[in-house]
Structure 1
Amino acid sequence: MFYLYQEQKLYYKVMGQGKPVLLIHGLGCSSELMEGCMEPIFERQAGYKRIYIDLPGMGRSDANAAFASADAILNLLLHFIDDVIGSSPFLLAGESYGGYLSRGILARKMAQVEGLLLICPVTKPYIKDRILPESDVVVSEPSFDMTGKDEEFFSVAILQTEKTYQRFEKEILYSLRMMNLPFIQKLQENYALSFDPDQEIQSHGYDNPSLFIAGKQDQIVGFQQLADLLHDYPRATYAVLDVAGHNAQIDQEELFTALAENWLRRIKTI
């Protein structure tokens, strides 16, 4: 289905009933990314209404140039929350750029967000400010046939197996081929929010259960600077997964699943 705001159609999918969970993917991807890693978890957890969205210019959403900035997308997401979720408490999960936008949402709607999950999130919007690991760790399955596989996979995958490739192809590569490239290029010019969401969160502190997951070999956003946020999240679990890059949820599926399930259990205690 679609949500319409100022001539921008935002695609979203709702699955299940219960407490709302808003899930936001990263740059150039689509809702398939978040659905791929989270649905296997929610299928075993009753009582959650999952709301997967495609950001503007990505997936099935329109590429209205007026929304090719972080501020415009955040404003759109805030209106989406008001109109689709309303004033109900909800859980918030974001991956990569979606993790950055999620902190923008948290800064504006902290009282509503009962739990926060960040998967390999952007911590520093400008690449020049990021601390990236110097690592050549790659683990390949001996039987993995690389013939005909897309090069994009080998540029980011740390664990290279038939299973991780199949997930990458279904959850990420498909989406990358759908994105509106001119829109993405314009968005990259306006990639940062006009305010620092982490400073605003710091001024209040966020004491609901949180989970930060990073890949030790993530050469896109890094992992070290994510730890700098921890003092503002007294109930955060911070996990740096070895043999994991920017798609840590795929590289280390079992660890990711265990941590996410623990996050949901912790939320039930509040």
Structure 2
Amino acid sequence: MYREVGGVRVHHVEHGDGVPFVVLHGAGVDHREVAGALEPVLAGVDGLRRVYPDLPAHGRTAAPAHLGGGDDVVEVLLRFVDRVTGGGPFVIGGHSLGGYLARAVAARRPDRVAGLALVCPAGRRARDVPPHRVLHDEPGAADVLDRADVPGFEEYLVVRTARTARAYRDHVLPGARLCDEEGFGQVYGRWELRDAPDADAPQPYPTLVLAGRHDASVGWADAVRLLDVYPRASLTVADGAGHALLHEQPDLVAALLRHWLAGLGLPAT
């Protein structure tokens, strides 16, 4: 489905009823990466309406010419969230760039945010990023992929198994193939926001921060620093995972999400 906000037709997928949980994907993919990883967990939570939009220049959301940077994307997301939530309380989260944008949206709507979930969140500049290091390379793991897709899989995953290869094939590649490269450059060439999401004051809502100990894209040290921004944050830096934490440690992510949601009054059934 689509919603027209700020001159942008935002494509999104929804599941369930209840408190809206808006989940933002990372750069270069679409909603299917986060939805594919999280729906097996979130579908078992009563009273939770999951909303997965495609960011501008991703998936089926175009990037009109008036969008020229991350601040413009945040304005679109604010209008989108206001529309889909009807001005009521909501939960928001994101992976990678989606986490950075989710922080900005939450900071602009602090009185309505019931909770914030960040998975391998990007920051204004990644510091202390470890080198890419393969932790597990199962023989024949990439056999389910076309040969042309293997380099991307090997660049993204530090845990290479048949299971993570299937996750990459089913949830990452479809969106990657739809990414509008020209629109992406137009919008995300200036992806850093003018004001940091935490520029005003510590943010009071229950926050879950998950990072991969071997994340060669954004690292984990900046995630630790978020404890100063979110006084009600829980933090996990997971061994056995990199930037693809959602796919490499799905059971851990599921357990931590369930615990956090239960704290919001949204227990799994």
Q: TM-score, normalised by structure 2?
A: 0.93
Show the counterpart of 2:244: 247
Q: Which residue of 1 aligns with 2:152?
A: 152
CA–CA distance in 1 between the matches of 2:102 and 2:7? 23
The answer to whether residue 228 in structure 2 is matched with residue 231 in structure 1 is yes
SS in 2 for 1:27: coil
Provide the alpha-carbon RMSD of the alignment: 1.6
Q: CA deviation at 1:233?
A: 1.6
Question: Quick one: distance in 2 between partners of 1:29 and 1:11?
Answer: 14
- Counterparts of 2:99 and 2:41, CA distance in 1: 19
Which residue in the other structure is 1:4 paired with? 4
1:221 to 207, 211, 218: 218
Displacement after TM superposition at 1:100 (Å): 0.5
Pairs within 5 Å for 1:36-47:
36-47=36-47
Residue pair 2:62, 2:183 contacting (<8 A) in 1 also: no
Q: What per-residue deviation string (whole Å, max 9, x for no partner) do you get for residues 116-135 of structure 1?
A: 10010002x24xx5220135
1:133 aligns with 2:142: no
Q: Matched residues in 2 for 1:43 and 1:110: separation?
A: 26
Q: Is the 8 A contact 2:141 2:165 kept in 1?
A: no
Deviation at 1:29, TM superposition (A): 1.2
Count residues in correspondence. Answer: 263
C-alpha separation between the residues in 1 aligned to 2:98 and 2:107?
14
1:160 positional shift: 0.5
How do 1:16-165 and structure 2 match up within 5 A?
16-123=16-123, 125-126=124-125, 129-134=126-131, 136-142=133-139, 144-146=141-143, 148-149=146-147, 150=149, 151-165=151-165
Q: Per the alignment, in what secondary structure is the counterpart of residue 198 of structure 2? A: helix
* Maintained 8 Å contact 1:157/1:247: yes
| 2:259 corresponds to | 262
Q: Distance in 2 between matches of 1:46 and 1:4?
A: 28
Query: Aligned equivalents of 2:158 and 2:16: distance in 1?
Result: 33
**Sequence identity (%):** 31
Amino acid at match of 2:263: R
Alignment check: 8 A CA contact 1:68 1:183 kept: no
1:188 to partner: Cα distance: 3.0
| Structure 1 residue identity aligned to 2:102 | S
Contact 1:69 1:190 in 2 (8 A): yes
**Structure 1 Cα separation of the partners of residues 216 and 55 of structure 2:** 23
What SS is found at the alignment partner of 1:198?
coil
Shift in Å, 1:32? 0.4
Name the residue aligned to 1:180: 180
What residue identity is the alignment partner of 2:162?
A: E
Q: Tell me the TM-score normalised to structure 1 length.
A: 0.92
Structure 2 residue runs of 5 or longer lacking an equivalent are none
* Cα pair distance change 1:181/1:143, threshold 3 Å: closer
